[in-house]
Structure 1
Amino acid sequence: MIDGVQARRLILAATTLAAAGVVAGCGTTPAHPTEPGVARPDVSIAPATPAPSPTLAVVPTPGCLAPGAALSVGEVDAAMGLRAVTLTLRNCGTAAYTLNGYPVVDVLDADRKVLDVKVLDGTANVSSIERYDGPPKRVDVQPGATAVAVLVWRNLTTDAATVAKGAYLSVAPAEGRPRHTLVLMVDPGNTGKLAVSPWMAL
C-alpha cells in the first residue's frame, strides 16, 4: 500500500513533469519549421509606386507663322469672266504686325510648282476696283485684328495649249517674310497675269 507520504511524492513528481512539458512548448521553435535548405517566401508588400504626373502637350497654332501672321483666302467671286478673291491676314502674335505694301503672291500648279503667271501690284492692271485702288498705306494690325487685300484676274482663253491652271497660292505678307501655301483654284486662262491690291485695315 502507498502511504500518505508516498502519495504526496507521486503527485509532486507528476506536477513537475507537466510543468516542464509546458515550458518546452513555449520555446523559440517556429510554429511552421522550414526544411533545411528551403527559403521561406517573402510575404512583405512593397510600397506602391506613384503614377507619373500627366504632361500636357503644347499644340502649336495651325498656320501661325513668325512673327505672328496667319493668312487665309476667301471664296472666289466670279462675274463676266472677272475673278476676285480676298486675302486675309490675322495677327496671331502678341505685338502689332506692321504692313506697308502688297502681298507677295505666286501661283502654283497641282504639284506645287510655280507657274509662269505674273502677279502685278495694283488691281488696275486687271480691273479697277475703287475701294482697293491707290498706293499702299501703313497698317498696324493689332493682336487678334485683321487686314485684307484683294486678288483679281480674268478668265480669258484664246489658245488652249497655253492655258494656266493654278491649284495653290504661295503668299507672303511682304517681301522676305514667311510664306503660306493656300488652296485656291486659279484659272487665268492664257492671260498670264493677276493683280493684287495693297493691304488695308478692316
Structure 2
Amino acid sequence: MEQFIASDFNVFKIDGLDGRMEALQDRIWPKLQTLGTHFSQELSAKTGDEMFAHVAKHARRTVNPPKDTWVAFAANKRGYKMMPHFQIGLWETHLFIWFAVIYEAPNKTEFGKTLEQNAQKVKDMIPDEFVWSLDHTKPEVIPHEGLSIEELKSMFKRLQSVKKAEILCGIQIPREEAVKLSGDDLVKKISDAFDHLIPLYKLG
C-alpha cells in the first residue's frame, strides 16, 4: 500500500477545476482505488454485508474545484449516498476516516431514533480521541471527549428532524502525522478506526 505524501495534500492548492481534477485523477485516485479494493474486502468480512468501494468522481462540479476527496464503502454497487457508509479521504489539512449517514439517506430518521435510544451505549463505545461532524462538506468537527449524553442526544434528534441533517463519526489525522505513516501503518490505523465504527453501522 502506498503512503500519502505532502504533494497529495497540496493537490487542493491547485487553482481551477480542470487542473485540480487532473491532479486528483493522476495522484490521488490510484491510492484511493487501492484502499478501496483492500477495505471493501475487509469491511465485507467484518460487517457481514457485501461492501462496494466508490471513489468520488466529483462529476457534478462545473466551476468550483473540490476541497476534499474520498473513497466510500457501502452495501450497494450503484452508490453510497443513500446508505450508511464508511469513507477514507483527505482535505488539504488532514486525512479522515468516517462512518457517515448523510442527508440523502432515506433511513436517517429511524437511524437517528436508534442512536438516541442507545446514546449511553454510543458514548461508551466511541473512543475519546474520535470526533463527530454534522456536515460532510466542512472540515470542522466536535470532539467525542467531553460530550454529554444530552449533547449526543441533541445531535441524534437533529438527524431525525432536520431535512439536511447529517452525522459522521471517525478520526482525523493531521497531514504532518499522515505523511509519516508508511502504507502498512496507514492500513492498520484505518482498520483500527473501522473496528470502532462498525458497531455504529450495525446499530443502523
What TM-score comes out, normalization by structure 2 length? 0.24
What TM-score comes out, normalization by structure 1 length? 0.24
Q: Greater strand share, 1 or 2?
A: 1
